[in-house]
């Protein structure tokens, strides 16, 4: 691989071959600006001056005493009467359903002493139990201190009793006047909710249920209606598929209300039948980043290519386009084992469905997804009612069209024609301000409910905590307004239990609640019934090409913006750009040069970028930062939705609102203009520039043909040759050479973590799971910009050039890899031509490697870090004095230094700075204070709890138990991470250790990690 691949972390590394050396020389070039944080002795809980503290911290082992004595003390209050189902120190798990109007997952909720503290996938639910980063972070949204906490009437705090009087009066007046009563809700695939609304409508015949979603999947639903005759999204399964061709469909992200990453990863197991992935797109998406072959085209060109592919497959014409010709050839070769997915417009999806019908694709399961219900025609009809003054009562169920609809301001003005506006809301957003009555909405962790996500599946939702504030779910309100106040029939739990009986059949309600998911009697299936191809082709042809074309998309962290006030999600770096706390306009390097857009690294390796005003079809969004994105198609720009929320909390007011550019159907827009403002934006980024120091086999990759046909340890062509050292006794394997005394680690468990680069999609769910489990603090945009993130786990993103590099003499002599770009030394015009135009991408999770011969352990002057017999590298925080020697000596750069106290500190006003937000903290993991180092512990609190539980039961720990003991591995939807006991001969991790794809990070330095990786395999013919 070293002879034909080159890896780089950022575009700046390509421009400046000497950048690595500059970074190394300037690591500590500026004074650390900590006066604002450490100057207030009272705030920092210490009588020691900053100067004295740092003296002790750096030069005296007496700091051990200082750190131990001055740790903050927080008093606890014991139970007076202990609940029977709660044992202090022992977690309880409840099966439930995560649903917030945009995301869905069947989950297990971990609670401690009555507090939900973590979300885990529900193993009983299979693919429907997999959690993304937003599902993992949703537990923090429960403890959002910016929530609406009290019912309101005319802007003043009021009781539910008075609010219900107001609403009941409005309902009666609307009914008598013959005006409509509209419940405007997000998509809500709850059979009990629909049953309840039907009964509500029976009492108020003018009542109407209208669906509104910020991201409505309107084009997908319209295409399904046309092709399948039903307004439900098709469910795909890639397990038996050998080729997937995607036209702008981000099917590993937010596509058709579900992600295909689980079946995708299963189909990507290296071997003769490994799934091949072709992506045709403009933006570099998380799906495109995982593709084997990626064609970057602007949206208008993608439309033409898709039409040519359709014509060739369905009508038999010969494609004129080279890209289309290559795709058609592969589709015909795989036939039914191929599938085509498309997004962006209705026409694109209709053609994709018809291609799949012609192929007889086995990926099409016939099952229906019911999670999205938006009907644009119905919504337009509703707007007509409002404008005509025909609506007497409007009840909004946690939706805000004023923010997310392109005509939101017009809607806001028309609300003056509605006599009674009731907002069931969680934030003081635009709908909150426009409503006369406000009812705080109950969080999903405080609610009862049910969801029918797809054919034959029924899930239940149960509260895992008492309602924190005076909130109420929409179903409870409907019962009150239907039955009247103080009715004995207003208990929604009883209503749900009675309604579920007809679905559960012989299964008891308690058993269904225990499992969280059961089969339902809904046998709805989809089959091909139509599709107007000519109309679809005409629609795609009507998309007018322009100099710049915009692609709107959703980030893995933010989605539609429902959880935009969640600091865990705002700080989570984007998998590709590695930026956090922002959305931005992505642009290609060539277009950036054309429009004089700049991204510059300052002396501290902080990224500054140009700001533009973005105009699309007469609508202008001002002050949009621009990020130069390798892999972006020339003539296209991208912008994420879900940002720029006002009045929804301090954290949510980040970025720019792109919804005014989205018509609800088409994610691609032409006629785009940008105008530089002359100002610069300060980005907060992670992994902007870390030194590779000439190592370009950090993230290994190999073509499939080579993987199958060439022995991994072949002397000349081996793609994963075991590292050997030449000794006086001859060549010996690296792990047999040791300067250290070995010790016996075969007694009891010895933990290893396997990470498969072929399965990791970079989604970030593991990062949030680790953050939740281990009380990792949010540090904010300024600290991220200072490269002071506190993540115990990061996912490094590597770009790599697909063009071959000859092994020139200069390289043999040790020339730095970046010097090959247009190297005058070699007398050639660039060994690599524009490597940033369309690079390959590899995602590599990196945490503490728990080295058996850890360099950090030998340099700690107070033995704060040491090695355990189970293979974990331990940290004793009350011993650590913060010398940072361990961080300097760590070759993997996975240790984090607490520059400041991040909890109960107004300088870091996030969840750990208020009593409500701190309820999410895991009591099994200490909250670290300033001046200490911290890092991944392999979730030692969980592994020890698992061992103790087995010891109590006098049994052996099963492999499954250990696999779920590590938060990152348990959260991984693709199985990329496998945690287990190497001393268990039947464990999966031990089996993975024997794989010929296995390698260690920086094995040559002899640290002997307990984390190992598997080489990424690309299913394509290298050119």
Give tens-digit pLDDT for 878-900: 999 999 999 999 999 999 999 99
Low-confidence spans in the chain with pLDDT less than 50: 1-3, 27-34, 36-74, 693, 804-833
**Cα–Cα distance between 756 and 130 in angstroms, integer?**
18
Q: Supply 502's token pair.
A: 């007809």
C-beta separation of 269 from 606 below 8 A:
no
The answer to whether the Cα torsion of 677, 680, 684, 689 is positive or negative is: positive
**Cα–Cα distance between 658 and 625 in angstroms, integer?**
13
**Cα–Cα distance between 163 and 151 in angstroms, integer?**
7
Please name the residues in contact with 314: beta carbons below 8 A apart, sequence gap of 6 or more: 354, 355, 358, 533
**pLDDT for residue 205:** 94
Neighbours of 705 (CB within 10 A): 14
Scanning the structure block, which residue is given the tokens 């239907």? Answer: 482
**pLDDT for residue 22:** 60
**Cα–Cα distance between 73 and 342 in angstroms, integer?**
56
CA distances from 785 to 788, 846, 984 (A): 7, 20, 44
**pLDDT for residue 823:** 33
In terms of C-beta density within 10 A (0-12 exposed, 13-18 middle, 19 or more buried), how is residue 524 classed?
Answer: middle
Scanning the structure block, which residue is given the tokens 């099994």? Answer: 924
Q: How many residues are recorded in the chain?
A: 1023
Nearest Cα residue to 374 out of 259, 207, 550, 224: 224
Which residues are paired to 460 by β-bridges?
Answer: 450
**pLDDT for residue 731:** 79
**pLDDT for residue 818:** 37
**pLDDT for residue 801:** 73
Nearest Cα residue to 96 out of 65, 125, 133: 125
**Cα–Cα distance between 107 and 124 in angstroms, integer?**
9
**Cα–Cα distance between 189 and 191 in angstroms, integer?**
6
Residue 687 DSSP code: S
Nearest Cα residue to 545 out of 323, 343, 305, 303: 303
**Cα–Cα distance between 213 and 190 in angstroms, integer?**
16
């Amino acid at each position: 691989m070293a002879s034909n691949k080159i890896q780089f972390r950022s575009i700046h590394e390509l421009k400046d071959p000497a950048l690595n050396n500059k970074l190394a020389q300037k690591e500590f070039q500026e004074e650390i600006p900590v006066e604002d944080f450490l100057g207030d002795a009272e705030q920092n809980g210490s009588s020691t001056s900053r100067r004295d503290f740092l003296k002790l911290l750096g030069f005296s082992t007496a700091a051990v005493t200082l750190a131990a004595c001055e740790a903050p003390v927080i008093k606890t209050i014991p139970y007076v009467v202990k609940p029977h189902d709660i044992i202090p120190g022992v977690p309880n798990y409840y099966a439930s359903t995560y649903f917030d109007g945009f995301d869905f997952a069947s989950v297990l909720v971990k609670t401690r002493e009555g507090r939900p503290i973590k979300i885990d996938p529900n193993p009983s639910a299979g693919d429907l139990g997999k959690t993304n980063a937003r599902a993992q972070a949703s537990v923090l949204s429960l403890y959002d201190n910016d929530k609406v906490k009290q019912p309101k009437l005319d802007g003043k705090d009021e009781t539910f009793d008075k609010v219900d009087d107001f609403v009941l009066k409005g309902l009666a007046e609307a009914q008598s006047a013959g005006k409509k009563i509209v419940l405007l809700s997000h998509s809500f695939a709850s059979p009990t909710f629909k049953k309840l609304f039907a009964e509500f409508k029976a009492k108020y015949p003018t009542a109407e249920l209208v669906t509104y979603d910020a991201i409505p999947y309107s084009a997908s639903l319209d295409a399904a209606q046309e092709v399948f005759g039903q307004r439900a999204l098709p469910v795909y399964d890639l397990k038996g598929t050998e080729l997937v061709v995607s036209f702008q469909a981000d099917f590993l992200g937010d596509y058709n209300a579900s992600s295909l990453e689980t079946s995708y990863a299963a189909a990507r197991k290296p071997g003769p039948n490994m799934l091949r992935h072709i992506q045709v797109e403009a933006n570099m998406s998380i799906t495109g980043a995982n593709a084997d072959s990626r064609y970057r085209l602007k949206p208008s060109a993608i439309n033409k290519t898709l039409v040519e592919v359709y014509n060739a497959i369905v009508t038999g014409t010969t494609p004129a386009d080279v890209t289309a010709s290559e795709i058609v050839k592969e589709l015909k070769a795989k036939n039914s084992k191929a599938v085509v997915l498309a997004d962006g417009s209705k026409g694109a999806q209709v053609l994709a469905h018809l291609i799949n019908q012609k192929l007889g694709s086995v990926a099409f399961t016939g099952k229906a997804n019911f999670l999205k219900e938006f009907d644009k025609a119905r919504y337009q009809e509703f707007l007509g009612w409002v404008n005509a003054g025909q609506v007497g009562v409007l009840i909004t169920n946690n939706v805000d069209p004023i923010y997310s609809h392109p005509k939101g301001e017009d809607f806001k003005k028309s609300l003056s024609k509605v006599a009674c506006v009731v907002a069931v809301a969680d934030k003081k957003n635009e709908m909150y301000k426009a409503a006369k009555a406000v009812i705080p909405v109950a969080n999903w962790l405080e609610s009862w409910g049910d969801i029918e996500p797809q054919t034959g599946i029924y899930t239940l939702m149960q509260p895992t905590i008492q309602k924190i504030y005076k909130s109420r779910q929409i179903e409870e309100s409907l019962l009150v307004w239907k039955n009247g106040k103080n009715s004995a029939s207003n208990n929604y739990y009883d209503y749900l239990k009675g309604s579920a009986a007809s679905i559960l059949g012989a299964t008891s309600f308690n058993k269904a609640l225990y499992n969280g998911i059961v089969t339902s009697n809904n046998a709805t299936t989809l089959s091909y019934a139509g599709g107007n191809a000519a109309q679809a082709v005409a629609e795609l042809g009507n998309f007018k090409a322009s100099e710049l074309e915009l692609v709107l998309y959703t980030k893995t962290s933010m989605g539609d913006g429902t959880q935009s006030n969640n600091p865990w999600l705002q700080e989570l770096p984007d998998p590709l750009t590695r930026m956090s706390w922002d959305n931005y306009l992505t642009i290609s390097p060539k277009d950036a040069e054309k429009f004089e857009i700049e991204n510059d690294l300052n002396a501290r390796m902080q990224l500054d970028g140009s700001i533009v005003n973005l105009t699309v079809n007469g609508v202008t969004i001002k002050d949009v930062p621009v990020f130069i994105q390798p892999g972006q198609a020339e003539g296209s720009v991208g912008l994420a939705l879900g940002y720029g929320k006002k009045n929804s909390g301090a954290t949510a007011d980040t970025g720019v609102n792109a919804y005014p550019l989205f018509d609800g159907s088409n994610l691609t827009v032409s006629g785009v203009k940008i105008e530089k403002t002359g100002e610069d934006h300060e980005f907060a980024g992670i992994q902007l520039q870390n030194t590779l120091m000439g190592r370009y086999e950090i993230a290994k990759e190999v073509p499939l043909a080579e993987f199958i046909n060439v022995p991994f340890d072949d002397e000349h062509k081996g793609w994963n040759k075991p590292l050997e050292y030449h000794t006086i006794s001859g060549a010996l394997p690296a792990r047999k050479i040791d300067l250290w005394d070995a010790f016996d680690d075969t007694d009891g468990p010895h933990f290893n973590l396997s990470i498969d680069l072929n399965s990791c999609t970079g989604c970030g769910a593991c990062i949030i799971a680790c953050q939740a489990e281990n009380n990792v603090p949010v540090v904010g945009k300024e600290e991220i910009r200072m490269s002071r993130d506190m993540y115990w786990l990061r996912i490094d993103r590597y770009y790599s050039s697909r063009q071959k590099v000859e092994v020139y003499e200069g390289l043999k002599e040790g020339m730095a890899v970046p010097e090959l770009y247009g190297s005058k030394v070699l007398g050639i015009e660039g060994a690599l031509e524009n490597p940033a135009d369309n690079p390959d991408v590899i995602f590599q999770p990196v945490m503490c490697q728990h080295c058996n011969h850890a360099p950090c352990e030998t340099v700690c002057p107070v033995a704060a870090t040491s090695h355990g017999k189970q293979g974990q590298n331990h940290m004793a925080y009350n011993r650590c004095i913060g010398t940072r020697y361990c961080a300097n000596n760590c070759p993997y750069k996975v240790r984090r230094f607490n520059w400041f106290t991040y909890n109960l500190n107004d300088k870091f006003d996030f969840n750990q700075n208020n009593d409500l937000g701190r309820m999410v903290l895991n009591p099994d993991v200490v909250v670290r204070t300033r001046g200490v180092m911290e890092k991944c512990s392999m979730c030692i609190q969980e592994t020890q709890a698992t061992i103790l539980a087995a010891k109590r039961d006098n049994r052996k720990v099963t492999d499954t138990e250990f696999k779920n003991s590590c938060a990152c591995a348990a959260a991984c939807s693709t199985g990329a991470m496998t945690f287990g006991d190497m001393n268990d001969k039947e464990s999966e991790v031990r089996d993975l250790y024997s794989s010929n794809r296995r390698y260690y990070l920086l094995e040559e330095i002899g640290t002997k990690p307990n984390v190992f990786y598997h080489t990424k395999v690309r299913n394509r013919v290298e050119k």
